[in-house]
Amino acid sequence: MLVTTKAIVFSALKYGESDLIVKCFTEKSGLRTYLLRRILKSKKGKLKTSLFQPLTQLEIVANHKDKGTLESMREAKVVQPYHTLHTDVMKSSVVFFLAEMLRNSVKEEEANLPLFRYLENAFSWFDTHNQIANFHLLFLLNLTRHLGFYPDTDGLEMPYFNLLDGTFQPVETNRYCVHDENLDLLKKLLGTDFDALSAIKLNQTGRSKFLMLLLEYYELHLQGFKKPKSLAVLNEIFN
């Protein structure tokens, strides 16, 4: 079936001498993987390698067979040009990290419009703002809402947060209960939007500790989740 849809690039991997395998989250069909033949050698085709940088927002024309195999793509164009995401060193490091996080956590092969809207709006915000040191923390926390394990904010005043259950509670019941500065930051971020992030002051140590907590939270709730290999590069950049 021929489909015209918006799509956000998660990854593009070289396959053989001239092909690319591109993974995209599409507005109409969820997660799809495309085999783009001879794109690395052809200069005349409608598809250019530069279109498939991580998190690029596209409109594509694709043939979806819906058989769980690699799909084909006929056309692609950028619908939301970025001005800084792929040129600013700090932002591009965050982009690679978040793209890897999305590849490791988003598995839906069906439309999820709220998730798609969240991604396109978040990346557009990220592109146009400068105070972005804590962006990835709030992005990953809010992403859990679309993945099905956003923290239950009932009992927000309680002194522990249970990573295993995703709930606040009055006492410590297992080794996954958080009660230190990570708890304070979690409470600040819950309900915060990106525009209010600049009001949250955080040093590199606190930022790194909270990120590790988020990654543990993902590991507990997503089967087969793996920590991104790009984490080391991200930590190096922020240091």
- pLDDT for 181-223, tens place per residue? 999 999 999 989 999 999 998 998 999 999 999 999 999 999 9
pLDDT exceeds cutoff 70 at 233: yes
Task: Name the range with the highest mean pLDDT among 57-61, 64-68, 132-136.
Answer: 57-61
Indicate if the pLDDT at residue 239 is higher than 70: no
pLDDT over 90 at 237, yes or no: no
Distance CA(165)–CA(90), nearest Å, equals 34
User: Which of 46-50, 58-62, 105-109 has the largest mean confidence?
Assistant: 58-62
pLDDT for 234: 85
Query: If you average pLDDT over residues 96-101, what whole number do you get?
Result: 97
The CATH number of 2-78, from 3.90.1150.10, 3.80.10.10, 3.40.50.10790, 2.40.50.140, is 2.40.50.140
Distances in Å between the alpha carbon of 61 and those of 6, 46, 72, 74, 82?
9, 11, 9, 5, 21
What mean pLDDT comes out for the span 132-157?
Answer: 96
The CATH fold of domain 89-238: de novo design (two linked rop proteins) (1.20.1440)
Please, which residues have CB within 8 angstroms of residue 76's CB and are 6 or more apart in sequence? 7, 46, 47, 51, 52, 58, 59, 60, 61
CATH 1.20.1440.120 domain position(s) in the chain:
89-238
Instruction: Return d(Cα 139, Cα 214) in angstroms, integer.
Output: 11
Residue 46 pLDDT grade (very low, low, confident, very high; cuts 50, 70, 90): confident
CA distances from 44 to 34, 47, 52 (A): 19, 9, 17
In the chain, list all ranges with CATH 2.40.50.140: 2-78
